[in-house]
Chains A and B, each alone.
Chain A
């Protein structure tokens, strides 16, 4: 019987303060950590010229945009393209053909890449592409941050050169083209 009361006493002694702490933590999270972003918020900064995006987009469509990877509608980095996820209802992943993407899909891909970390991207572009690993996209591609697809880009390879050149403002179209030949 004494044991029973001792148990109750210990629960009251330790459980009540822990419950209060947990409730406080939940309330704090609810008020700050989980609040929605400002719908009218806009990031102003220097972004890469959309006109230079197409060679990078073609590389990403072929290398990253398969339907089991970034060609999935639920992904943060969502890549549309003819061989993967399609943007317009009625379009299907094609069986073959030279077309990489429609104009609207290129535009959506540009928005997807820029929208991941707009402030960081603008800062990298502003710095002429220096320290590109500030971007999660570069970290993930190199697998220096855990990437489910592994290290799909190796530092210095054609894909890497293609992506990094875009951040400097001068796209290396030849490297982007060469990247399409990789296995």
Chain B
């Protein structure tokens, strides 16, 4: 009788373990799969996958090892996909925003137009307000995001192409090439 009981318990444990393995998060898995393969011409790292929802992999649930709280890509012009480096992305969360003296936190885009903040350096209290500027661009150039970020740290979750009822399109610095930094 004791042997029977042991077998039943063992079988139940095995079943639970199998269930545990099979029941990951299919939504997360699908999100990661939908990103497709890496561009073979770009090594994995800070320059890879511009314009994709960074936190799909870097949100703390893998498969990437580094975890970001907010990340995205800034392109130079409306309707174009040339990246813009050196853009200062200013983020003010609900703690910083009401404080007139608070400068919030800045992140700067790299050569691929990507910027990111690691989870351990900034954990935003949503909502987050965003504006972008460039130190070399003409005075007043840049953008202020009209609405706030409610909870998703991946800019590209909302800012993706094509523009439509569900997306304002990718993030861009300028409508007019004359307001881009002079080096471009």
Residues of A that sit less than 8 Å from B by CB = 3, 6-7, 9-10, 14, 62, 64-69, 71-73, 83-89, 91-97, 148-150, 183
Contact = CB atoms under 8 A, between A and B. Distances in A.
B166 A85 contact: yes
Interface stretch (B17-25, B43-51, B143-151): B143-151
B129 to A, nearest CB: 7
B167 interface: yes
A94 B165 contact: no
A71 B165 CA distance: 10
Interface string B143-161: 1101111111000011000
Contacts of B147: 62, 65-67, 83-84, 93
Nearest to B169: A92
B151 A149 contact: yes
B36 interface: no
Interface in B134-150: 143-144, 146-150
B164 interface: yes
B64 interface: no
A62 B146 CA distance: 10
Nearest to B145: A95
9 contacts: A6-B3, A67-B147, A85-B165, A85-B166, A86-B165, A88-B165, A93-B168, A96-B146, A149-B150
A89 to B, nearest CB: 6
A7 B7 contact: yes
Given A14-B8, A68-B158, A89 B168 contact: no
Nearest to B96: A183
Interface of B: 3-4, 7-8, 94, 97-98, 126-127, 129, 143-144, 146-152, 157-158, 163-169
Contact of A67 (B94, B144, B158): B158
A87 B163 CA distance: 14
**6 nearest A-B residue pairs (beta carbon):** A68-B152, A69-B150, A67-B158, A183-B97, A66-B150, A86-B165
Contact of B165 (A62, A83, A87): A87
A87 B3 CA distance: 64
Given A68-B150, A93-B167, A94-B168, 17 more contacts: A3-B3, A6-B4, A7-B4, A10-B4, A66-B148, A66-B150, A66-B158, A67-B167, A67-B168, A69-B150, A69-B151, A73-B166, A84-B147, A85-B166, A87-B165, A183-B94, A183-B97
A83 B167 CA distance: 10
A178 to B, nearest CB: 13
Contacts of A9: 4
A117 B25 CA distance: 29
Given A67-B167, A87-B165, A92-B164, A148 B151 contact: yes
